[in-house]
Amino acid sequence: MGKLRASSAFWIAECLGLAVRDSSLSPLQHALHASRHFLLFAFIFSVLVNILMLTGPLFMLQVYDRVLGSRSEETLVALLVLVLGLYTLMWLLDFSRSRLLARFGARLQTALDDRVFETQLTQPKHTSRSPSASRDLEAIQGYYASPAMPAIMDAPFTPFFIAVIFIFHPWLGWFALAGGLILIAITTVNQLFSSKRVADAQQMTEAAHRFADNARRASELIRSQGMLRPVTARFMKHRVAALTDNMNAVDWTGAFSTFTKAFRLSLQSLVLALGAWLVLRGEITAGAMIAASILLGRALAPIEQIIGRWPQVARARQARAALTALLDETQDPVARTRLPKPEGRLEAKGITVTTGPGAPPILYNVSFAIEPGEALGVIGRSGSGKTTIAKSILGLVEANIGEVRLGGALIGHYSAEDLGSYVGYLPQDPMLITGTIAENISRMALEPDSDAVVTAAQKAKAHELILSLPDGYETRVEDNQIGLSGGQRQRIALARALYGDPVLLVLDEPNSALDQEGSEALNAAIRTMKEEGRSVVIMTHRPVAISECDRLMVVENGQVKALGPRDEIIKSMMKNASDIQRAVGGGSAK
């Protein structure tokens, strides 16, 4: 409950403009500040709504003590018209408050949606937080649009209504105060017993979502390998665990919520009975008795609503903490001077990459250079470090030691957008993103350049392939599935890498799924790049992929074992292989 009071105090301070904005605020708090005027007006409307809540009790007081005593129909009509007008005003104010809070949540989500999405894409190391970050933001937005937030804004007015009950009679006031304190105690106990259960249920639900997403991506493998039943059984195990935890949390919060409702109704009946006894003793009027009962119900209603909505409140608090931690750990990109388009000259000096202190290096002291118009083939066994070299060139992996330069400038000195336009990349898995073929080739540009798209497809020898599709370049890709073979997807992905005339082309196992025609198209694209004075880096272990390479670099266990002209490296490798064969053969003969 202390955390709840602190949270309420923070929102009230925000509404009144008392919270100081400084550089220490988190990105989430900055987004909250940007729309705090919505909370300010919502708080003002809350004050007016709660004052207008006195309409019913005062009307009852006047009817019992004034109208019935005077038997004046004119007074009754006048009071009724006034009450209906006040209730209409209260409805408009309450409706406006709910709209303001909903729009505050919507503006908050809009302000952070792009940043959260980009963080999920650029911070893969946050595996425990990133996947659910968007859902965390939606939970916060839903919290502001739900009845929970108005209840929290109404809760500070509970002492005001109890104070009014004291005016009728001190005994009624003390009774109402005792009932309110008991409900606050119940709320505190609810928070202590329910918060962890709600958090555990949310974690299990997220685990089930992650397993389901992973299984959907591997659906073809699951069907082809007869894994459908065991995978479904594992999914059900996750779901049952999540459902069990959710039911446990719902049972606890439901128990507190229903008890609170019954307790509040009992208090209203008890205060009515106490009031009737005071009426019999002539200490208060019948109108005061009825008004005190109504006021007590209104005073305790926000606490009851908070307890009933506690899972949503707890989920929003958990989401806010997780989202704040994620955004605080994400550094804002440094604004840099935009550099001119570089030449295709690539230099890597002493690159060393490790996974952590004491861990063996993935790459160790890797150095090489490529001049414009040159193609370098990086060959080695699987797991030798070829893909890590490719990711180091692209800035996807940060070297612990060493540097990578493109056109003389460190790759870190280019913005991500500029570097992406200067470097074309074909990964091992040629994934296509939901959209049209043209949008995929144009790297998901909102307004694809049709000429550039077709040119890139022609360079990749994918133009005829695309035209053979039902809707040509407008054929839609849904979840990477459009009925294309791996080789066809790879050629479309190659067209994407060639889009925009990059100065450097990085190909990671580019012909792993290509047939003879596809391999010829790949070699033709590499020749074109070299003729245009651009450079190419090819990571491969297939001989056909190095036919267009000018130099070869042999990588073994993350280190460069050989680097030089292609033919010399091939001869050296063949000689070594012959020597080993002879040695083995000689040993056998003996």
3-state secondary structure 114-176: HHHHHHHHHCCCCCCCHHHHHHHHHHHHHHHHCCHHHHHHHHHHHHHHHHHHHHHCHHHHHHH
The residue-averaged pLDDT of 344-350 equals: 90
- For 527-584, the pLDDT digits (tens) are 888 888 889 999 887 766 778 888 999 998 889 888 888 888 888 877 665 554 454 4
pLDDT of 129 reads 52
**CATH 3.40.50.300 intervals, the chain:** 346-589
From the list 529, 461, 546, 445, the residue with the least C-alpha distance to 495 is 461
Residue type, 529: M
The residue-averaged pLDDT of 82-88 equals: 91
Q: Classify 2-329 by CATH class.
A: mainly alpha
**HSE toward the beta carbon, residue 482, CA cutoff 13 A:** 24
The mean pLDDT value of the chain amounts to: 81
Cα-Cα-Cα-Cα dihedral sign, residues 526, 528, 530, 536: negative
88 pLDDT above the threshold of 90: yes
Cα-Cα-Cα-Cα dihedral sign, residues 213, 218, 223, 228: negative
**CATH 1.20.1560.10 intervals, the chain:** 2-329
Strand partners, 348: 368, 404
Candidate ranges 6-10, 102-106, 300-304, 352-356; pick with highest mean pLDDT? 102-106
pLDDT of 586 reads 46
pLDDT of 93 reads 92
> Phi, psi at residue 18, to the nearest 5°?
-85, -20
Fold of 346-589: Rossmann fold (3.40.50)
Other CB atoms closer than 10 Å to residue 240's CB: what's the count? 12
| Rounded Cα distance, 223 and 211, in Å | 16
pLDDT of 106 reads 87
Residue indicated by tokens 């019954």: 262
Starting at the edge strand found earlier in the chain, the sheet holding 401-406 runs 363-370, 346-353, 401-406, 409-410
pLDDT of 9 reads 45
Candidate ranges 24-33, 208-217, 235-244, 371-380; pick with highest mean pLDDT? 371-380
Residue type, 394: L
- For 124-145, the pLDDT digits (tens) are 554 445 567 778 888 888 888 8
Residue type, 262: A
Starting at the edge strand found earlier in the chain, the sheet holding 504-508 runs 423-426, 504-508, 535-540, 375-379, 551-556, 559-565
- For 417-447, the pLDDT digits (tens) are 888 889 989 888 788 888 888 988 888 888 8
CA of 517: how far to CAs of 373, 458, 489, 491, in Å? 24, 14, 14, 10
Candidate ranges 64-73, 78-87, 322-331; pick with highest mean pLDDT? 78-87
What is the rounded radius of gyration, in angstroms, for the C-alpha atoms of the chain? 35
